[in-house]
């Protein structure tokens, strides 16, 4: 062929090739540096290349077809719109891929519709993009989240369910999408929503409980959606008795994450985890299926492994995924499917002579296209949105791991018919193992079983009537019995004490205030029914010091009210209430016995300037008084009636105790003897104004009157200026002013300055002595007030001191324990080091000071090895390198020896000596242990590398001999456990006459190994061994040990 014809031919071929070459440009909107597990550029982009390869492999595209992708970062709606304008007008792209984010795809969708350019999305699930009258060129290979309603319809149809309740988080965008889809699909398929409740993510547990109890009355199947509150909802459901198999909860969610089986939804790491794990057994968790079967699962996982590898190639040249050990993202398969769909569209446009840029035509093409993608069969609905598969997860595994219960296939028989397959191994967590009913057999109100309901109602009415009658009868019987018991108790008079059992002390002792005995607890005049408590004496009753107080003249017969009062007093028991011991009669008087308090009365302590009281002390006394009065007010006595600082006693533990309670039952209607007028009015300084105005008081006063008295005592404690300090006013004048009452009633002065006073103290006393009794707080309120305002009132002063001593003692114990643990740790370290130098049994004897005598062992196996060519290696190395080499090698050997019943005796240079069968004998197993160990050493030495000579392979020679041996400890300084005898020497000769990387056995070792069984040896031949102390050569047959049969 001449030159002219050749040039014409080449030009023709080039023109044909150019004519057949097809160029396409695709704009690719990406998001990078975030969301690596879902749709990040770094973990998804190469899915495009994998799909293009597959298109050419399947013959959809030709090898000369070139599709170039122009990628731009678009992480904001405004940025994406600008990027698309540039791509379409300047770069002349034929289609747009993305963006993965819905909010970015929306403005792009308006532009592509305007230009009639195809837009393919692979991760946007917003329902807003479902309106194809607006987004006319928008195609999705991952359908909208609203399609999850199809999965619920499939499940409900599978079990003939027609009723459900909804409880959804209105603040969660995904949940709102799910709600739209579920309600719409339910309406289309005649499934009723019984009740629909919404909540926000800050909803309280109480509100959740209230709503679930409402749903419980109208629905058995409850669909809820809230990633943040799901665990709380399920726990609350169980507490509302909805975890009995009658109820089923369902939760729609997005694509299942890789950590779904490790980051368990029910686990929070707190005390509720067990309760949450049990609650989740009654939940189905619905997600888009990543694959429909096990075969496609393998394809998806292989694909995810390939994505990071392809990211290294052109045009991406990105190693981020590999460097950070990321697989391809979970959404990458949908990008593959989008690319494959576009390839099919290109092929279609070529065969049908259609413009590849015609977006509406591609929309129609996609809506009628089905193909096999990497994530399974790809089928589109009439809106060009892919029909997905869905997984239903259950949590019935004993450890709470999620497992797939069912698969919903929305395209098995067409988009309108949903096939739901229950996977093998799933059982319902109900009493029968069958699916729960959506409606109870008799309905939620029993409306489907009217006759049974009426019979049930009649039965309930009959039972209730019988129960009421029985209750009334029981109450009457109990009342009669208790009445008789009370009468018997009154008659027995358990409180009564024989005066002969009371030993009075010779010296008369005052019990209570330092006031005279005749005015310790002065009563009122004869017009007020409070009698005088005359004298107080100390005595002994059954070994206990008691206070004997005369309260009245001897009764001829005690009135019933006094008997009741004495029984109530005897039942009183509280730390801050002085114990009532009993009562007795003398020939002329009636006396009561109380516990004796050695520190005297509160008034004694407050008036004693030598006693220093800090605020902790005072607050403790105040709280004791409040606790005691709260107890009295809740008892049968109801109130005290004579509360003063003179009958608030302090025991030897500095605990305040209230005394003289209940005496109103004994002194009522008893005339008071004549006493000095000023003393009589002093006794009234603690009395409430409303009682002062009465002609006759209640026997035990009133509760509000006690609160007033507490306010006066509180003033005494805080200011320590006596009771009702008023200059130029005597007790009589003060009582008159208090009794009158004014706009500004007469009260103790609170304007006195005092250091470090708590303002709450003043506020409390002012509340307690309010003029109106109804305005005064009860002692329960006072107790709460003091605990909130005073931080040191929980214990009295002695308890605080004891607590401090206990804390100091505990600190000492902790310190001793800590030091002991440190000592034990150091001892353990010392023992560990010693056990490395000597056998543990020998070391223990040495620690106990026992002599370690040499021991003869009849049969042991000795191992000897050295390094082949060690002298050469050492000559080529520095001393430090030699030490490093031996350390690395012997560390390897030591780790191997730890796995066997063997003892490392010593190392000398490159020689390594090991023995089995001593100091702990092991029968005939010593040869087996040494041989197994030798095989392990040979195996591991092949992979050993010399750090400074990596190209040189290290090899060892091993010699083994079995025979008798003597062992013992030699020396006191750095003692050594040494072996003696021909067995050691023979093992050494076996090693020196051996070969590299081989195990040389003596005849005795060979026979012992054969007897053990399971090992293979081969005869080597005879060798001559010199015996030094006999100066002769001995010919010995030897063997190679090769391997174990096992």
Structural domains counted in the chain: 5
Give the confidence band of 1017 by pLDDT, cuts at 50, 70, 90.
confident
Is the domain of 688 the same as that of 629? yes
The answer on pLDDT for 516 being more than 70 is no
Is the domain of 481 the same as that of 514? no
The DSSP call for residue 353 is T
| CB burial of residue 79 (10 Å; 0-12, 13-18, 19+) | middle
The answer on pLDDT for 184 being more than 50 is yes
| CB burial of residue 133 (10 Å; 0-12, 13-18, 19+) | exposed
| Cα–Cα distance for residue pair 382/870, rounded to 1 Å | 80
Residue 1002 included in any domain: yes
Tell me which residue has tokens 């919404």. Answer: 198
Q: What is the pLDDT of residue 232?
A: 93
Joined together, the tokens standing for residue 377 give 């069969």
Residue 1025 included in any domain: yes
| pLDDT tens sequence across 528-584 | 333 334 457 888 888 888 888 877 666 656 677 777 778 888 888 899 999 998 888
Give which of 428, 390, 425 is closest to 407, Cα–Cα. Answer: 390
Examine the fold and report which residue of 766, 794, 822 is the final residue of a domain before the chain moves on. 794
Higher pLDDT, 910 or 862: 862
- φ, ψ of residue 341 in degrees (nearest 5): -60, -40
Is the domain of 218 the same as that of 136? no
CB 981 within 8 A of CB 964: yes
Question: How would DSSP label each residue in 872-933?
Answer: HHHHTS-HHHHHHHHHHHHHHHHHHHTTSS-EEEEEETTEEEEEESSSS--TT-HHHHHHHH
3-state secondary structure of 646: helix
Give which of 221, 213, 211, 215 is closest to 163, Cα–Cα. Answer: 221
| Cα–Cα distance for residue pair 128/107, rounded to 1 Å | 12
Half-sphere exposure of 926 (CA within 13 A, CB side): 28
How many helices (H) does the chain have, and how many strands (E)?
31, 32
3-state secondary structure of 930: helix
Tell me which residue has tokens 């009741």. Answer: 564
Residue 823 included in any domain: no
CB 367 within 8 A of CB 382: yes
| Cα–Cα distance for residue pair 302/309, rounded to 1 Å | 11
Cβ neighbour number for residue 302 with a 10 Å cutoff: 11
Give the confidence band of 626 by pLDDT, cuts at 50, 70, 90.
very high
Q: What residues have CB less than 8 Å from 453, skipping those under 6 apart?
A: 442, 446, 447
pLDDT above 90 covers a percentage of the chain that reads 31
CB 1020 within 8 A of CB 960: no
Residue 820 included in any domain: no
Is the domain of 272 the same as that of 138? no
Q: What is the mean pLDDT of residues 194-217?
A: 92
Does the N-terminal peptide bond of residue 919 adopt cis geometry, omega within 30 degrees of 0? yes
Residue 440 included in any domain: no
Residue 836 included in any domain: no
Higher pLDDT, 89 or 676: 89
Residue 942 included in any domain: yes
Is the domain of 304 the same as that of 245? no
What range does the domain containing 357 cover?
21-142+295-329+331-385
Is the domain of 151 the same as that of 175? yes
Q: What is the pLDDT of residue 1?
A: 44
pTM of the complete model: 0.46
Which range among 32-41, 50-59, 862-871, 1022-1031 has the greatest average pLDDT? Answer: 50-59
Give the confidence band of 115 by pLDDT, cuts at 50, 70, 90.
very high
Q: What is the pLDDT of residue 789?
A: 85
Is the domain of 194 the same as that of 59? no
For the chain, what is the mean pLDDT? 83
| Cα–Cα distance for residue pair 550/88, rounded to 1 Å | 112
Q: What is the CATH number of the domain that holds 734?
A: 1.10.510.10
The answer on pLDDT for 322 being more than 80 is yes
Question: How would DSSP label each residue in 818-866?
Answer: HHHHHHHHHHHHHHHHHHHHS-HHHHHHHHTT-----EEEEEEEEEEEE
Q: What is the pLDDT of residue 26?
A: 95
Joined together, the tokens standing for residue 49 give 């290349």
| pLDDT tens sequence across 559-572 | 777 777 788 888 88
Give the confidence band of 833 by pLDDT, cuts at 50, 70, 90.
low
Give the confidence band of 988 by pLDDT, cuts at 50, 70, 90.
confident
| Cα–Cα distance for residue pair 605/645, rounded to 1 Å | 10
Question: How would DSSP label each residue in 523-571?
Answer: ---TTS----B--EEEEEETTEEEEEEEEEEPPSS--HHHHHHHHHHHT
| CB burial of residue 271 (10 Å; 0-12, 13-18, 19+) | exposed
| Cα–Cα distance for residue pair 768/705, rounded to 1 Å | 9
CB 732 within 8 A of CB 709: no
Give the confidence band of 691 by pLDDT, cuts at 50, 70, 90.
very high
β-bridge mates for residue 577, sequence order: 574, 658
The answer on pLDDT for 401 being more than 70 is yes
| Cα–Cα distance for residue pair 266/821, rounded to 1 Å | 39
Is the domain of 94 the same as that of 77? yes
Is the domain of 91 the same as that of 210? no
Is the domain of 400 the same as that of 363? no
Q: What is the CATH number of the domain that holds 274?
A: 3.40.50.2300
Pairing, β 95-97 against β 22-30: parallel
Q: What is the pLDDT of residue 508?
A: 43
Q: What is the CATH number of the domain that holds 981?
A: 3.30.70.1230
Question: How would DSSP label each residue in 699-725?
Answer: TT--HHHHHHHHHHHHHHHHH-S-SS-
The answer on pLDDT for 353 being more than 50 is yes
Taking each helix axis from N to C terminus, what angle separates 615-633 and 797-837, rounded to the nearest 10 degrees?
110
Does the N-terminal peptide bond of residue 99 adopt cis geometry, omega within 30 degrees of 0? yes
| pLDDT tens sequence across 770-819 | 999 999 999 999 999 988 888 766 655 666 667 666 766 777 777 788 88
Measured over the CA atoms of residue 1013, residue 1016, residue 1021 and residue 1024, the dihedral's sign is: negative
Tell me which residue has tokens 């500095």. Answer: 654
Examine the fold and report which residue of 462, 486, 510 is the final residue of a domain before the chain moves on. 486
Is the domain of 345 the same as that of 458? no
Is the domain of 157 the same as that of 274? yes
CA distances from residue 572 to 552, 579, 709 in whole angstroms, order as listed: 22, 7, 21
Residue 16 included in any domain: no
Q: What residues have CB less than 8 Å from 125, skipping those under 6 apart?
A: 102, 140, 142, 143, 144, 145, 177, 254
Which range among 379-383, 479-483, 1008-1012 has the greatest average pLDDT? Answer: 379-383
Q: What is the pLDDT of residue 803?
A: 66
């Amino acid at each position: 062929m001449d030159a002219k014809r050749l040039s014409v031919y080449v030009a023709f071929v080039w023109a044909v090739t150019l004519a057949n070459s097809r160029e396409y440009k695709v704009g690719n909107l990406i998001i990078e540096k975030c969301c690596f597990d879902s749709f990040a550029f770094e973990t998804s982009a190469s899915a495009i290349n994998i799909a293009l390869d597959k298109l050419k492999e399947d013959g959809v595209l030709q090898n000369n077809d070139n599709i170039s992708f122009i990628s731009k970062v678009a992480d904001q709606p405004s940025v994406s719109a600008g990027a698309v304008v540039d791509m379409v007008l300047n770069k002349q792209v034929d289609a747009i891929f993305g963006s993965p984010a819905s909010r970015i795809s929306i403005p792009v969708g308006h532009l592509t519709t305007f230009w009639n350019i195809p837009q393919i999305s692979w991760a946007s699930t917003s329902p807003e993009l479902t309106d194809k009258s607006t987004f006319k060129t928008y195609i999705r290979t991952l359908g909208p989240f609203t399609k999850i309603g199809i999965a619920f319809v499939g499940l409900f149809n599978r079990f003939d369910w027609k009723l459900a309740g909804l409880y959804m988080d209105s603040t969660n965008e995904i949940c709102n999408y799910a709600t739209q889809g579920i309600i719409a699909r339910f309406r289309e398929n005649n499934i009723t929503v019984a009740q629909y409740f919404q909540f926000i993510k800050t909803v309280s547990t109480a509100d959740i409980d209230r709503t679930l109890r409402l749903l419980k009355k109208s629905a058995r199947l409850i669909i809820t959606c809230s990633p943040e509150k799901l665990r709380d909802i399920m726990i609350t459901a169980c507490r509302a008795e909805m975890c009995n198999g009658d109820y089923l909860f369902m939760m729609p969610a997005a694509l299942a994450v890789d950590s779904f089986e490790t980051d368990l939804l029910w686990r929070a790491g707190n005390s509720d985890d067990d309760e949450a794990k049990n609650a989740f057994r009654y939940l189905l968790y619905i997600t888009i299926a990543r694959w429909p079967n096990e075969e496609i699962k393998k394809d998806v996982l292989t694909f995810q492994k390939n994505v990071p590898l392809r990211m290294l190639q052109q045009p991406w040249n990105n190693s981020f995924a590999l460097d950070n050990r990321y697989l391809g993202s979970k959404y990458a398969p949908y990008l593959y499917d989008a690319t494959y769909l576009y390839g099919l569209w290109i092929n279609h446009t070529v065969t049908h002579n259609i413009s590849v840029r015609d977006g509406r035509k591609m929309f129609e093409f996609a809506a009628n296209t089905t193909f096999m993608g990497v994530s399974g069969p790809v089928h589109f609905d009439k809106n060009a949105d892919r029909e997905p598969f869905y997984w239903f997860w259950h949590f019935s595994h004993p450890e709470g791991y999620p497992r797939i219960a069912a698969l919903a296939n929305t395209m098995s028989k067409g988009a309108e018919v949903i096939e739901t397959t229950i996977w093998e191994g799933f059982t319902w967590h109900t009493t029968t193992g069958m699916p729960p009913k959506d409606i109870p057999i008799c309905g939620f109100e029993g409306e489907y079983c009217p006759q049974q309901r009426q019979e049930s109602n009649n039965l309930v009415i009959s039972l209730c009537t019988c129960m009421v009658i029985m209750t009334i009868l029981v109450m009457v019987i109990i009342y009669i019995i208790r009445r008789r018991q009370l009468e018997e108790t009154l008659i027995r008079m358990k409180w009564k004490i024989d005066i002969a059992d009371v030993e009075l002390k010779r010296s008369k002792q005052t019990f209570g205030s330092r006031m005279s005995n005749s005015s310790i607890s002065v009563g009122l005049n004869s017009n007020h029914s409070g009698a005088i408590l005359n004298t107080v004496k100390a005595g002994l009753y059954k070994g206990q010091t008691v206070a004997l107080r005369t309260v009245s003249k001897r009764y001829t017969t005690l009135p019933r009210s006094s008997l009741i009062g004495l029984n109530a007093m005897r039942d009183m028991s509280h730390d801050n209430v002085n114990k009532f011991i009993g009562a007795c009669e003398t020939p002329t008087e009636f006396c009561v016995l109380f516990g004796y308090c050695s520190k005297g009365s509160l008034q004694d302590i407050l008036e004693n300037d030598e006693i220093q009281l800090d605020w902790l002390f005072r607050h403790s006394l105040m709280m004791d008084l409040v606790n005691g009065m709260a107890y009295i007010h809740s008892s049968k006595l109801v109130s005290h009636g004579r509360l003063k600082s003179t009958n608030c006693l302090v025991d030897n533990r500095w605990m305040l105790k209230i005394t003289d309670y209940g005496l109103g039952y004994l002194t009522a209607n008893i005339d008071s003897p004549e006493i000095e007028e000023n003393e009589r009015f002093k006794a009234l300084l603690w009395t409430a104004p409303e009682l002062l105005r009465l002609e006759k008081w209640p026997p035990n006063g009133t509760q509000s009157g006690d609160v007033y008295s507490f306010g006066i005592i509180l003033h005494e404690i805080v200011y320590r200026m006596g009771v009702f300090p008023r200059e130029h006013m005597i007790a009589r004048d003060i009582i008159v002013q208090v009794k009158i009452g004014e706009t500004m009633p007469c009260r103790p002065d609170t304007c006195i300055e005092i250091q470090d006073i708590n303002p709450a103290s003043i506020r409390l006393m002012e509340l307690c002595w309010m003029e109106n009794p109804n305005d005064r707080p009860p002692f329960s309120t006072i107790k709460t007030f003091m605990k909130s305002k005073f931080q040191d009132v929980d214990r009295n002063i002695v308890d605080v001191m004891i607590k401090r001593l206990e804390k100091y003692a505990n600190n000492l114990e902790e310190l001793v324990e800590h030091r002991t643990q440190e000592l034990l740790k150091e001892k353990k370290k010392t023992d560990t080091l010693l056990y490395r130098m000597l056998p543990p049994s020998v070391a223990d004897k040495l620690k106990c000071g026992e002599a370690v005598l040499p021991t003869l062992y009849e049969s042991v196996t000795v191992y000897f090895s050295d390094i082949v060519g060690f002298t050469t290696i050492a000559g080529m190395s520095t001393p430090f390198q030699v030490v490093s080499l031996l350390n690395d090698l012997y560390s390897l050997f030591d780790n191997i020896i730890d796995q066997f019943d063997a003892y490392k005796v010593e190392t000398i240079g490159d020689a390594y000596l090991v023995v089995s069968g001593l100091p702990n004998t092991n029968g005939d197993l010593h040869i087996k242990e040494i041989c197994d160990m030798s095989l392990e050493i040979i195996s591991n030495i092949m992979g050993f590398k010399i750090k400074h000579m990596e190209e040189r392979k290290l090899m060892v020679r091993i010699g083994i001999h079995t025979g008798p041996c003597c062992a013992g400890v030699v020396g006191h300084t750095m003692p050594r456990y040494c072996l003696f005898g021909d067995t050691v020497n023979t093992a050494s000769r076996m090693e020196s006459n051996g070969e590299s990387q081989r195990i040389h056995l003596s005849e005795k070792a060979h026979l012992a190994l054969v007897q053990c069984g399971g090992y293979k040896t081969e005869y080597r031949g005879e060798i001559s061994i010199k015996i030094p102390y006999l100066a002769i050569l001995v010919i010995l047959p030897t063997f190679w040990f090769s391997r174990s049969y096992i």
